[in-house]
Amino acid sequence: MKSYQLFNWQTRPRLVDVPQPTAGPNQVLVKVGGNGLCHSDLHAVDDLTCCPPHLDIELPLALGHEIAGWVEALGPGVQGLDIGQPCAITIAGCGQCVLCAQGWNNYCRSRGKQVGMGLGGGLSEYVVAPVSAIVPLRSLAPWQAAPLTDAGLSSYHAVKRVLPLLTPGSSVVVIGVGGLGHLAVAALKAICAARVIVTDQRPQALELAISMGADLAMLSGDTVAQQIIDATAGADVQAVLDFVGMNSSIQLARQVIRPLGHIVVVGRGGGSIDFSPHGLPHGACISSTFGGSKLELMELLALAEGGGIACHVERHPLSQVDAVFDKLRRNEILGRAVIVPDDH
């Protein structure tokens, strides 16, 4: 089968022919129907920030962790799935710890290697996944579902974190309307009554945000904090979702958040915050996230299958994956790029 594999750290992966994997005990072989490209893949290749040393990742390794497709084969011990069934792949927790018991498989401290993050990934024609990571699809095509497994799920999880604050009359700011941010806008408009304000440095990203339902769109710059304050009549905002994560975006969030508000930093832009009792308005908080839970993915997929949310997708064949990664490096992808088999 064809597989886009990383042979040496910080070198360009190559599309090569490798043997088709087989499903072991409690595993599922999935025929890949779509794999969303993520900046985390670039980090894994370019600067290793998505490859924790304790995982002892072995090369070569197929990249790709936003995966959906069809069940091709069941390993020993797997029940409840049918051959040919469409499915998505999510984060697998250990299944035994308190966090997993509470439904937070994404925060499991023993989750170990994941598909595309230490285990063979979805930039291949076939991939093996733990059965606990499989989420069945109904009407959604795999290429539509693939970017929801990470970009969509991370955005949806961030929205759910602040949802209790987003009552009628409230405002929420989305900083950065890229692959994740545009899905946060769609999720916000689908499940809450808050006014959605977005900011980005790219006019085309703001246009995409408006098409997803954003109420106000502002070019980022020195005056954007005051523009947001003016737009809310000086009342500030109940929540900020930061999909950039740089010092400048975190500072913007601090400038506009109200007392008892919540800033969620999803982006991995390398920014930081110096905590002090006066660093935020009284009662306000700032938090980080990692992905989302399996239950939240089920909710998100149901929302998408009902037409409540959709990802802006560019589809590209697996044979062109090198060129698409270069577009991602140059920040030329609007929405999400999804790699599909050459025969689709």
The CATH number of whichever domain residue 46 belongs to comes to: 3.90.180.10
Structural domain tally of the chain?
A: 2
269: confidence class by pLDDT, cuts 50, 70, 90: confident
How do beta strands 257-265 and 285-288 pair? parallel
- Boundary (domain end) residue, out of 288, 314, 330: 288
Cβ count within 10 A of residue 344: 13
Query: What b-and-e string marks burial along 188-224, b requiring 16 or more CB atoms within 10 Å of the CB?
Result: bbbbbebbbbbbbeeeebbebbeebebbbbbebeeeb
pLDDT in tens, 296-312: 999 999 999 999 998 99
For residue 235, the model assigns a pLDDT of: 80
For residue 57, the model assigns a pLDDT of: 78
For residue 47, the model assigns a pLDDT of: 61
CA–CA distances in Å: residue 17 to residues 278, 304, 319: 57, 34, 12
170 in the same domain as 141: no
262 in the same domain as 160: yes
Range list of β-strands (E), 132-284: 134-136, 171-175, 195-200, 216-219, 237-242, 257-265
State which residues form the domain around 107. 2-150+292-340
Q: Which amino acid is at 304?
A: A
Residue 299's H or E segment, with its range, is helix 294-305
Task: Tell me the two tokens of residue 84.
Answer: 């040919």
DSSP letter at 124 equals B
175 in the same domain as 115: no
Q: With a cut of 80, say whether residue 260 has pLDDT above it.
A: yes
Q: With a cut of 80, say whether residue 265 has pLDDT above it.
A: yes
320 in the same domain as 251: no
For residue 243, the model assigns a pLDDT of: 96
163 in the same domain as 146: no
Task: Tell me the two tokens of residue 90.
Answer: 């999510």
Which residue is it, tokens 């993915």?
297
97 in the same domain as 22: yes
CA–CA distances in Å: residue 20 to residues 31, 77, 300: 10, 21, 31
Residue 100 phi/psi, 5° resolution? Answer: -65, -40
Q: CA 113, 126, 64 angle in degrees (round to 5)?
A: 45
248 in the same domain as 165: yes
For residue 273, the model assigns a pLDDT of: 78
198 in the same domain as 102: no
Find the mean pLDDT for residues 72-96: 96
Calpha distance 64→67 (Å, rounded): 7
Task: Tell me the two tokens of residue 281.
Answer: 């308005």
pLDDT in tens, 164-188: 999 999 999 999 999 999 999 999 9
Where residue 280 sits, what CATH number does that domain have? 3.40.50.720
Find the mean pLDDT for residues 11-33: 95
For residue 344, the model assigns a pLDDT of: 66
Q: With a cut of 60, say whether residue 54 has pLDDT above it.
A: no
Contact 242, 266 (CB under 8 A): yes
Q: Over the chain, what is the mean pLDDT?
A: 92
Q: Which amino acid is at 123?
A: L
For residue 324, the model assigns a pLDDT of: 94
Q: With a cut of 80, say whether residue 53 has pLDDT above it.
A: no
Which residue is it, tokens 């040496």?
8
Find the mean pLDDT for residues 284-293: 95
236 in the same domain as 324: no
Higher pLDDT residue, 4 or 277? 4
Cis peptide before 136 (omega within 30 of 0): no
Calpha distance 188→217 (Å, rounded): 15
56: confidence class by pLDDT, cuts 50, 70, 90: confident
324 in the same domain as 187: no
pLDDT in tens, 185-237: 999 999 999 999 999 999 999 999 999 999 999 999 999 999 999 999 878 89
188 in the same domain as 128: no
The pTM of the full predicted model, rounded to 2 decimals, is: 0.94
Residue 18 phi/psi, 5° resolution? Answer: -135, 160
112: confidence class by pLDDT, cuts 50, 70, 90: confident
Contact 32, 145 (CB under 8 A): no
Q: With a cut of 90, say whether residue 270 has pLDDT above it.
A: no
3-state secondary structure of 118: strand
Q: With a cut of 80, say whether residue 58 has pLDDT above it.
A: yes
137 in the same domain as 24: yes
CA–CA distances in Å: residue 28 to residues 77, 132, 135: 10, 9, 11
Q: Which amino acid is at 156?
A: Y
For residue 101, the model assigns a pLDDT of: 96
136: confidence class by pLDDT, cuts 50, 70, 90: very high
Q: CA 93, 99, 100 angle in degrees (round to 5)?
A: 40
